[in-house]
Amino acid sequence: MLKIRRFEEKAGQLYGMGLIGGFCHLYIGQEAVVVGMQAAAKPQDTVITSYRDHGHMLACAMDPKGVMAELTGRAGGYSKGKGGSMHMFSREKNFFGGHGIVGAQVPIGTGLAFGHKYKKDGGVCMAYFGDGAINQGQVYESFNMASLWKLPVVYVIENNKYGMGTSIERASSTTDLYHRGRAHGIPGRQVNGMDVQEVRAAAEDVLEHARSAKGPYILEMMTYRYRGHSMSDPAKYRSKEEVSKVRSEQDPIDNLKTLILKRKIVDEAALKEIDREVKTLVSEAAQFAQSSPEPDPGELYTDILIEA
């Protein structure tokens, strides 16, 4: 979680310096969701998410250097500098992308789950999307097919309470989103997405449900992003007091740190050393990104077609 937090803070700095262009959606505040899910995952499982995707990449053990280089549009990036923040992939790590179109990753994730079932590899697809995507028609088409075919997929709704600048109360007639699969017979559960232990416990149960041919499951993670929707969003639709209150009372990293110290798992010095190691890792990623060359113009013509 700390690696994601520090990485995103550095990405925000590079964006402010003009080294990252285009869209950039930070995951600060939501780290416990993907870390808790991945803690319960198996190597054959697949992950797909939306454009707020850097945290998912790091949780899938993708190299921070390659991720940061892609953010800066450099040849050393995972998509050779052509994808940017919202579009990078790693088949080696079973990460099938961030996707820039709202909700578009849900049917693709359902297809990945179909692939797991077809190949009988024991894998489950974790398809992440936000509360802003829940009212998309393609989401419900995916729910229907996943339930009909009992596909091994877990739909993870990262409910950070705001779809861009619109609160969920203003966008959805019903706000308990884990019920949205009821019409298709899909069970659901609401989880405190700011508590990594609670997320992991729920993930262990639900991934086993999907893995044992019982069909899809919906997890609604109640979480919160501290920054705006993207780096260009001043977030004036909510008060600074609201953000400060959540951060002071529910921060997933601070609360876990308190628990670790209370249980005497490690001491304060050990935690500071972890922070130093993470900061070094992120600094090295930023240096690599800035020193990596620009993509060759010939890259515009690659990765367009593949021989069948």
Q: What is the pLDDT of residue 233?
A: 93
Q: What is the pLDDT of residue 71?
A: 98
Q: What is the distance of C-alpha 262 from the center of its chain?
A: 29
How far, CA to CA in Å, does 284 sit from each of 59, 130, 159?
18, 31, 32
How far apart are the C-alpha atoms of 267 and 251, rounded to whole Å? 20
Q: What is the pLDDT of residue 56?
A: 98
pTM listed for this prediction = 0.95
Summary count for the chain: helices (H), strands (E): 11, 7
CA dihedral in degrees (60, 81, 306, 110; nearest 10)? 40
User: What region, left, alpha or beta, does residue 103 occupy, with left being phi > 0 and alpha being psi -120 to 50 degrees?
Assistant: left
Q: What is the pLDDT along the chain (308 residues), one digit of tens a residue?
A: 999 999 999 999 999 999 999 999 999 999 999 999 999 999 999 999 999 999 999 999 999 999 999 999 999 999 999 999 999 999 999 999 999 999 999 999 999 999 999 999 999 999 999 999 999 999 999 999 999 999 999 999 999 999 999 999 999 999 999 999 999 999 999 999 999 999 999 999 999 999 999 999 999 999 999 999 999 999 999 999 999 999 999 999 999 999 999 999 999 999 999 999 999 999 999 999 999 999 999 998 998 888 87
How far apart are the C-alpha atoms of 181 and 194, rounded to whole Å? 23
Burial 149-188 (b: 16+ CB within 10 A, else e): eebbbbbbbbbbbbbeeeebeeebeeeebbebbeebebeb
Q: What is the pLDDT of residue 306?
A: 80
CA atoms within 13 A on the CB side of 302: 11
